[in-house]
């Protein structure tokens, strides 16, 4: 009888332990989803602001259509990757978009009347603020992904993770172009 009680107590303790592990894994997974949703909201906001910026620039920059088109193509690539849930694609498209915006803002230096336009300045500040928020959220997202991935690879969590199908989450990484130093000379050519 005592042996049965001890056996049931051990089973109960193990069950509670595995339940705690499962709940912690669920919490980590949901935190990754929440962090991605926060990035997604900011990407949508920037997605909505970029056409306004390009339209404002078009009024002044008749000879810079290639720069404007590059920004809009990159915007479309980010939106497409975001809608497909392609984290790696978002990272690569983000790099292209950030480079395009950098070139656009550098080219604006050649148009003093555009720089003086209050609508342009408001949009530039708004997009710059969104860019900074995306960078902050990306760091938060990657921290959550790292915690999730480490936990589902460690023993005993790996046992629970494999039993219940927990998956490794994908980091939102910078492209090589985004990491590289900016060639200011190229931006002004």
**Is residue 183 pLDDT above 60, yes or no?**
no
Q: How confident is the model at residue 178 (pLDDT cuts 50, 70, 90)?
A: low
Structural domains in the chain plus CATH codes: 22-187 (1.20.1440.20)
What is the band of 70 on the pLDDT scale with cuts at 50, 70, 90? Answer: confident
How many CB atoms are located within 10 Å of the residue 34 CB?
A: 12
Which residues have C-beta within 8 Å of that of residue 82, sequence separation ≥ 6? Answer: 40, 43, 44, 90
Buried b (16+ CB within 10 A) or exposed e, 87-122: beebbbbbbbbbbbbebbbbbbeebeebeebeebee
Q: Which secondary structure element, helix H or strand E, spans residue 166, and what is its range?
A: none
Predicted confidence at residue 68, as pLDDT, reads: 85
Q: Indicate the range of 46-55, 110-119, 129-138, 164-173 predicted with least confidence.
A: 110-119
pTM of the model: 0.78
Q: Is 176 exposed, middle or buried (0-12, 13-18, 19+ CB in 10 A)?
A: exposed
User: 159: which 2 tokens?
Assistant: 């046992």
């Amino acid at each position: 009888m005592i042996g049965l009680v001890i056996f049931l107590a051990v089973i109960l303790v193990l069950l509670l332990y595995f339940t705690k592990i499962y709940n912690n894994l669920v919490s980590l997974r949901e935190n990754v989803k929440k962090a991605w949703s926060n990035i997604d909201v900011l990407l949508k906001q920037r997605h909505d602001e970029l056409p306004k910026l390009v339209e404002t620039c078009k009024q002044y920059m008749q000879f810079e259509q290639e720069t404007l088109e590059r920004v809009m193509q990159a915007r479309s690539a980010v939106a497409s990757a975001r809608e497909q849930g392609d984290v790696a694609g978002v990272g690569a498209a983000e790099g292209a978009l950030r480079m395009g915006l950098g070139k656009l803002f550098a080219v604006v230096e050649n148009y003093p009347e555009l720089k003086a336009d209050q609508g342009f300045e408001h949009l530039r500040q708004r997009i710059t603020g969104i860019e900074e928020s995306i960078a902050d959220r990306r760091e938060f997202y990657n921290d959550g992904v790292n915690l999730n991935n480490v936990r589902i690879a460690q023993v005993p969590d790996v046992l629970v993770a494999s039993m219940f199908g927990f998956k490794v989450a994908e980091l939102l990484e910078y492209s090589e172009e985004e990491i590289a130093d900016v060639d200011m000379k190229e931006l002004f050519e």
